[in-house]
Structure 1
Amino acid sequence: MAGGPDRSGVDPARVRNVVLVGPRASGKTALTEAVLLPLGAVTRLGRVEDGTTVSDGTDVEKRLGHSVHLSVATVDVSDTDCVGTGGPIRLSLLDTPGQPDFVGELRAGLRAADAALFVVSATDGIDPGTRLLWAECAGVDMPRALVVTHLDQPRADFDTTVAEFQDAFGGDIQPLYVPQGDGIQALLSRTHRSGGSAGRTVRDASEDELAQTEQARGDLVEAIITESEDEGLLERYLGGEEVTFETIVADLEKAVARGAFHPVVPVNPLDGTGVAELLELVCRGFPQPAEHHMPRAFTVSGAEAPPVDPSPDAPLVAEVVKTSSDAYVGRISIVRVFSGTLRPDTNVHVSGHLAQFSGREDDEQWHAEHDDDERSGAISRMLGGTLTPVDEARAGDIVAVAHLAHAETGDTISDAASPVVVEPWEFPHPLLPVAIKARSTSDEDKLVKGLARLQAENPSAMVVVDSQTHQLVLWTMGEQQLELLLDGLRTRAGIEVDTEPVKVAVQETVRAVAKGLGRHVKQSGGHGQYAICHIVVEPLEAGSGFEFVDEVVGGAVPRQFIPSVEKGVRAQLEKGVTGNGYPMVDVRVRLVDGKAHSVDSSDAAFQTAGALALREAAAAAGVQLLEPIDDVEIIVGDDYVGAVMSDLASRRGRVKGTEGATDGLTRVNAEVPALELVRYSTSLRSLGHGSGTFTRSPSRYAPVPVHVQDRLSGAASETASA
């Protein structure tokens, strides 16, 4: 039986950190509960509806029908629960969402864990989203086993599922167990297991059962021996030498731990079939924390630091993998300890340097660089939403730490006396924008604070105040994350918001050379106003900005008022000349003549005259709208490249080239107007059947076609009159 977590630390060699990865509705949460049930950590499986295990999640999770947050469950596994481990194992299971909107939670789980259970349904096979999830695991060199669920469903086919994964990802995927009759057969030991949680029985497989699985067993043994560190073992085996069961198991455990072999286990979470076998694989075959690669460490000034030592006696190095808040406890940081020992009420250093590693200047706005000394609060082990205080967290542990006020997801926690920062994992950048505003003026100040808290908890979201359009824009990974964030504002912060279309940062310029007269003359009693200026406007090359040239001769405009004319022109340029609020750029203004009055001329009068002259000259020259063009890189399944390229053409995009990305995926590079990308993340997900991802970066401005210019002018006019 499993006891509650010790208040003292355990040997890091006895720790297993395992992340559950898989597409939506594959059964990850049900599998987590099925593993915890025989250990005594939960008393029942989640509610069963239509044959599917549903976890008791938040209101949003219940409405969406799947998990949206990374959750952690830490339990102790005794030798009785998992024989052959040589002592108790501290097991942390990290359940991750399978929906693409929450890939940030997935990557956090991959960072915190040392191995993965890749959970798939025997009824669904491999879809483009599954390929992306497998690529996420492969990209961080994550050791993993394949868990096949839903074998009790009518369309379930274990052999076909395994064959599809082997075809897609290689022959190092082999079943350790296969479904057979009322249970499963262990290929290596040639035993039949049945009963699950209702009372497990183990017997020798019959001759008929062995005959049905002999080919599968031979393939398994050969695949394991191929990965053996004994380079001559395969040759001896193929030559007829008998390899002992103990040798095969030892090689299997080593190959799994280093990620060279991916065993397959069939599991039925509802009746417990396969759970004990899976637990044995996790405890005996998955790597301990010290065997998995440590992140690179640097000093806070950016110099390379010594490699992280995965020992509890080394200097403290830990990382915040998730941030959340509790109504009673306050901010809670889920922390993976890589090195040293973390204790409550201890001075630690919190470092956040995301932009330093990503090379993206906008990351500074998203995740501001900071270095703070703080005092750690209570440290707890987690079992879902239940926190159990502990005295310390040692290297390899995943714990919750309270009251780290400045810690954000991705930050490093280290010794205050010798601070370091570890290279963070790659954060996904949100690509679906929506403009929001508080429904009432009383909520405007609360909105900024509420968004700051939600962004800290959801680092794949970003809040930006657009300096040109002046909109408050919330960038998310997709519609479901947007719903989650807006629900959080409403239920947790008590803020109602309205959404509105996102404005694109359009600019204006002039089409040709033209003259303009600015006349500001008022003589209506008292002190008058008098200023006249003649200007010439000329278009400049894209990106040139603004030039002001003084060509006045003979003092027609007194020297002290020439800067006034320029100031008035610049003010008009900032708000544009069409009334749409688009700034004017790439123009040269030449002041060629004017008139002044010895008494009535003033700085203000010549500012007004300069603005009037620009408006008249621009009207004569004709105004050209300029729209931002983005460089876009799209990765999509090979089968959907044609649909994506046709869609890009409809969006006025220009494809620059295509190339293979990874197996089954193609990279498409294109230039696309930003106006056409506002909802592109949603469209691409549909076009690529879940296989499409893209990144974008500003490239340049280009003239807007006439039909689009009319649409932009009309939309701006509607906004102005609203």
Structure 2
Amino acid sequence: MERRYSIERVRNIGIMAHIDAGKTTTTERILFYTGITYKIGEVDEGTAVMDWMAQEQERGITITSASTTCFWKNYQINIIDTPGHVDFTVEVERSLRVLDGAIVILCGVGGVEAQTETVWRQADRYKVPRIVYINKMDRIGVDPEKAIEEIKETFSVRPLVIQMPLGREENFRGVIDLVEMKEVDWGDDLLGTKFEVRDISDEHKKEVQMKRNEMLERLSDVDDVLMEKYLDESEISPEEIKKAIRKGTISLQLVPILYGASFKNKGVHPLLDAITNYLPSPLDIPPVKGYHPRTFDVETRKASDEEPFSALVFKIMNDPFIGTLSFFRVYSGKTKVGSALYNSTKGEEERISRLLEIHSNKRKEIKEVHAGDIAALGSRKNLSTGDTLCMRNHPIVLEPIKFPEPVVSALIEPKSRTEHSKLAEALEKLTKEDPTFKVIQDSMTGQTLVCGMGELHLEVLMDRMAREFGVLANLRKPQVAYKETITNSSEGEGRYIRQTGGRGQYGHCKIMIEPLKRGKGFEFVDRIKAGRIPKEFVPSIKKGIKEAIEIGILAGFPVTDVKATVVDGSYHEVDSTSIAFKIAGSLAFKDAASRANPVLLEPVMSLVVISPDKYLGDIVGDIKSRRGRIEEMELRGGSRVIKIFVPLAEMFGYATDIRTITQGRGVFSMEFFRHEQLPTPVMEEIIARIEGRISVQR
């Protein structure tokens, strides 16, 4: 099957923004104007094509990335619409890994917002060229100049204004194209399908010429040919300008700025033109790099159908009708239904039974895919996000996708005891779909913990379990896995003697225990003098001590960072047994530990908070109330980076709290640092609560 369009006419783009900037609304207009839909879907009405999940339609937000393909002026545009909420940042991360370009949508009133900064940094990490679309130009209080200045200051980039707004707020009618030197006026047309393209009116000519000269001056910095013409005051054609804009955009030297009001159906047609004119095709991207799975030599693949096949799986999704869908981006070569592919990540062969072109929640069967395509494989259960598909005789492993670690966790349990297996099956499928969703079986508490990117993330997954898998579950606050240790050295004695008429039981040992450095765990030393205890009974003493360690001293938590040395004891030639010495070892440890000043240890997390500087005081005050300590602070651009150590027990609900404190502009990451001794008052409270003497919600 031949390509519909040559590869230089393919655009793989993502649409990204802060929540409520108009991302899905803009995508819905793109689908309408390119003929994919016959009616404009609306987010507020729950009819948006790209927000097809029930939760998305109910909440009015994008939760999962949705892909589609549309066509504009003999170009094929593969679009991925991504979520704007920080809890679903995984969808942006995996999309950017396989895209060639991006549209960043800003609200003309809000400008650069918290998630704008996050998605911009993600795009920087993957070196994705982008254009900015300043939306909601019809809103009261719109300030595009402020938004452009924020782009410049926040991201240290060079915005290139290629349009001027034709009016603003309720008078916004369209845009002035500085490249073609034309006014594009939608007037009062409600659907946006009719618009007038006319010459620049006299009232705008002076300002337009000034703005055009500013644009040409900036373009001269990235294009020598254009610079020469500009300095000579020679005529520069629109095609020459477009070529220079494209060059500056793809090289990440410039970020073109466009305007619109998507909800009012104004500005989307020029945006589509900008996608095809300025964003890269697969040919404009450097050859993809990987390594040979056996020799580890560097391998490269060019974006060509003639190259050996290579593709990256970037998303797994469960479909109620098809089964498992594996979304992939083809970087080189071509393949068709019935062919065999090699999963070089896992060393397994995959036979292609179904190839699908995806349009939101609809699927279209196709026979073949080519370099630059985005498609899905049907019913391949062994594939995972980040797997490389290639040819067995030309193997390559592409760089996998890196995902952030979860920052919140909660205890989960089925509402019905009979649904444990259904819960486990649902959790397994959800973790396969979402690499930022983790499930941990806590061997110490016997609980199942679910970990995610925020409370909304976990809430949505709970809702999905009920709707898609029929599993009702409760989320509860997890128990912190404390540990116990000793702070002094001490000696203890254990004696176990039983006489029941026949052969008795006799075991006797003396031990010394001493604290170890944090993280050392448990050490055992045998210093028994010859003849005091037979060697075959020493392992039993060690086993008894280890069992006592697991039970704990103070509150039932395992003991760590302790060294136990057996120094003496006695035995009976007839009655001594391994069981007797195991019990004696356990008793000796309990005896020694009771005099070694035992304490509780709590997990302490390393926390990094990034926030605008004006919220510093509130952040520090909140951290101190959580028993946290500030280790380091630095200014990075216009943001304050704060490095903190804080107990895990104090961090539940922090994802919500930090957003409240910083009005949604603060982000954080958290990972385990080490166990540290609890303050005595807090330790006593925890022990009392466990023993049932008090009931406290911390």
What is the TM-score when the length of structure 2 is the normalising length?
A: 0.92
Q: Work out the CA distance in 1 between the residues paired with 2:551 and 2:138.
A: 65
- Counterpart of 1:136 in structure 2 is 122
The residue identity in structure 2 corresponding to 1:176 is: I
Moved more, 98-107 or 668-677: 668-677
Distance 2:224 2:668 in 1: 40
2:269 equivalent among 266, 276, 281: 276
CA–CA distance in structure 1, aligned partners of residues 146 and 515 of structure 2: 65
The C-alpha deviation readout for 1:335-366, integer Å capped at 9, x for no partner, is 111111131222112244xxxxxxxxxxxxxx
Q: Which amino acid aligns with 2:179?
A: L
**Any conservation in 2 of the 1:7–1:391 contact (CA below 8 Å)?**
no
1:514, distance to aligned residue in structure 2 (A):
2.3
| Superposition deviation, residue 383 in structure 1 | 1.5
- Residue 170 of structure 2 is matched in structure 1 by none
Matches of 1:568 and 1:521, distance apart in 2: 15
SS at match of 1:243: coil
Equivalent residues, number: 687
| Runs of at least 5 residues in structure 1 that lack an aligned partner in the other structure | 1-5, 83-87, 353-369
Match of 1:205 in 2: 200
Aligned partner of 1:363 in structure 2 is none
Asked whether the 8 Å contact 2:41–2:47 carries over to 1, the reply is no
In structure 2, the partner of 1:646 is: 621
User: In the alignment, does 2:312 pair up with 1:339?
Assistant: no
Q: Distance in 2 between matches of 1:219 and 1:66?
A: 38
Equivalent residues of 2:28, 2:49 under 8 A apart: no
Which residue matches 2:559?
584
Question: In the aligned structure 2, how far is the partner of 1:270 from the partner of 1:116?
Answer: 20
- Secondary structure of the equivalent of 1:600? coil
Q: CA deviation at 1:239?
A: 5.6
The answer to whether the Cα contact below 8 Å between 1:22 and 1:118 also exists between their aligned partners in 2 is: yes
Which of 600, 606, 617 is the matching residue for 2:581? 606
Question: Out of 126, 137, 149, which is 1:151 matched to?
Answer: 137
Cα distance in 1 for partners of 2:258, 2:692 equals 60
Shift in Å, 1:214: 3.0
Distance in 2 between residues matched to 1:400 and 1:719, nearest whole Å: 58
Do the aligned partners of residues 50 and 94 (structure 1) sit closer, same or farther apart at CA in structure 2, a change above 3 Å counting?
closer
Instruction: Determine whether 1:667 maps to 2:630.
Output: no
Letter in 1 for 2:454: G
Give 1:58-77 correspondences, 5 Å limit.
58-77=53-72
Equivalent residue, structure 2, for 1:250: 243
CA distance in 1, matches of 2:154, 2:528: 74
Per-residue Cα deviation, 1:558-611 (whole angstroms, up to 9, x for no partner): 443232222111111122122x33111222223333343344332112211211
User: Which deviates more, 636-645 or 148-157?
Assistant: 636-645
Three-state SS of the structure 1 residue aligned to 2:301 is coil
Tell me the CA shift for residue 509 of structure 1. Answer: 1.6
Mapping 1:430-441, distance limit 5 Å: 430-441=406-417
* Residue 58 of structure 1, CA deviation: 1.8
- Give 1:96's match in structure 2, choosing from 82, 85, 95: 82
Query: What's 1:367 paired with?
Result: none
Counterpart of 1:349 in structure 2 is 342
The equivalent of 2:178 in structure 1 is: 187
Find the partner of 1:263 among 244, 248, 256.
256
- Displacement of 1:154 in angstroms is 2.3
Residue 362 of structure 1 corresponds to none
2:497 is the counterpart of 1:521: yes
Aligned to 1:227: 222
Matched-pair contact (CA < 8 Å) for 1:171–1:223: no
Per the alignment, in what secondary structure is the counterpart of residue 303 of structure 1?
coil
Tell me which residue corresponds to 2:20: 25
Instruction: State percent identity of aligned pairs.
Output: 29
AA at the equivalent of 1:587? V
Q: Which of 531, 536, 540 is the equivalent residue of 2:516?
A: 540
One-letter amino acid of the counterpart of residue 673, structure 2: S
Deviations 1:203-243 (A, max 9, x none): 1121112234333222222222222143xx43652464443
**2:306 equivalent to 1:320:** no
In 1, the alpha carbon distance for the partners of 2:52 and 2:674 equals: 45
1:344 & 1:72 partners in 2: Cα distance?
Answer: 21
Aligned residue for 2:299, secondary structure, equals coil
* Segment drifting more, 269-278 vs 550-559: 550-559
| Partner in structure 1 of residue 458 of structure 2 | 482
Offset of 1:376 from its aligned partner? 1.8
Alignment of 1:699-718 (within 5 A): 699-717=673-691
8 Å CA contact 2:407–2:451 kept in 1: the answer is: yes
Instruction: Give yes or no for contact 1:468–1:505 (8 Å, CA) kept in 2.
Output: yes
State the alpha-carbon separation in 1 of the partners of residues 550 and 336 from structure 2.
Answer: 55
For 1:690, the aligned partner's letter is G
- Cα distance change, pair 226–590 in 1 and its aligned pair in 2 (3 A): closer
1:37 to 32, 37, 46: 32
Query: With structure 1 as the length reference, what TM-score do the two structures score?
Result: 0.89
SS of alignment partner, residue 606 of structure 2: strand
Task: Output the amino acid matched with 1:333.
Answer: S
Q: Secondary structure at the residue paired with 1:503? A: coil
- Give the aligned partner of residue 364 of structure 1: none
Tell whether the 8 Å contact from 2:491 to 2:511 is kept in structure 1 after alignment. Answer: yes
Task: Confirm whether residue 177 of structure 1 aligns to residue 152 of structure 2.
Answer: no
Per-residue deviation, residues 33-86 of structure 1 (Å, max 9, x unmatched): 101112220111123749997965322113332010100110233xxxx3xxxx
Give the whole-Å Cα distance in 1 for the aligned partners of 2:682 and 2:145.
54
Distance 1:425 1:522, change over 3 A: same
Question: Counterpart of 2:347 in 1: which secondary structure?
Answer: strand
Kindly tell me: are residues 55 and 332 of structure 1, through their superposed partners in 2, closer, same or farther at Cα, counting changes over 3 Å? Answer: closer
Corresponding residue number in structure 2 for 1:500: 476
Equivalent runs, 1:403-414 vs 2, <5 Å: 403-414=379-390
Q: What are the superposed Cα offsets for residues 96-123 of structure 1, whole Å, 9 maximum, x if unpaired?
A: 0010011110112212221111111112
Aligned position for 1:628? 603
CA RMSD of aligned residues (A): 2.7
1:640 counterpart SS class: helix
